[in-house]
Amino acid sequence: MTLKTNSLTWHDDVKLYQDALSGNANSAKSLVKKLSPKALALAFRMTQNMDVAQDCVQDAFMKLFYKSKFEGSAKISTYFHTIVSRNCLDYLKIKQLTIPLDSVEDSVLEEYLIDENVQIQTNNTLLEKALNLLSLRQRLAILLWAYDDATSNSIGEFLNIDENAANQLLFRAKANLKKELVRLGYE
């Protein structure tokens, strides 16, 4: 039954997207409402800046609705998070910006990131610090895996590497994250 529910959700999301492209404003609003929380969380985790994260997500919606070549072969959320991730990577490459999470107030995070569908612990600064010590590719692999349930295959497609290389990247990312957590005092 769970598989059927997931399958229906996938097809419902594609239908919602198609209706939005056809001009149905309610479908567009529903899709934005559904995709925004996880996308914003992913963008914030990557950029460490709420304003930039919001810009990346907004730009991703513009691309999704006006420039997209979505064919329905993946979940719309996976496709959308790929757009968001690429926007964030572009920003990080251009700015090479790192803002410590400690500089962002928890209340700001809670205002944007707390949602019944997104379980994010804003007070877990050890995890944030450990994530920030990973390479950009490893951090991206972990974030896609953790927040979007991305498979090694979809991570590989996003990074233009084969599935085996993506498996190895994700394995190293998890191992390095664990090593950094231990080094920072997590027991």
Which pLDDT value is given to residue 130? Answer: 84
Both 89 and 156 in a single domain?
no
Query: CB burial class (10 A; 0-12, 13-18, 19+) of residue 70?
Result: middle
**Domain final residue pick, 69, 96, 114:** 114
Q: Are residues 31 and 94 in the same domain?
A: yes
pTM given for the model: 0.58
Asked if residue 119 belongs to a domain, the reply is no
Question: What is the residue-level pLDDT of the chain in tens, covering all 187 positions?
Answer: 333 334 446 567 888 888 988 999 999 999 999 999 989 988 888 888 899 999 999 999 999 998 877 877 778 888 888 899 888 888 877 665 444 434 434 443 343 344 333 444 433 577 778 888 888 788 888 887 877 677 888 888 777 788 899 899 999 999 998 898 888 887 6
**C-alpha angle with apex 44: 39 to 45, nearest 5 degrees?**
100
- C-alpha closest to that of 17 among 37, 33, 38, 31: 31
Range of the domain at 171: 124-187
Rounded Cα–Cα distance for residues 179 and 69 (Å) = 40
Looking at 89, 114, 139, the residue that finishes a domain is 114
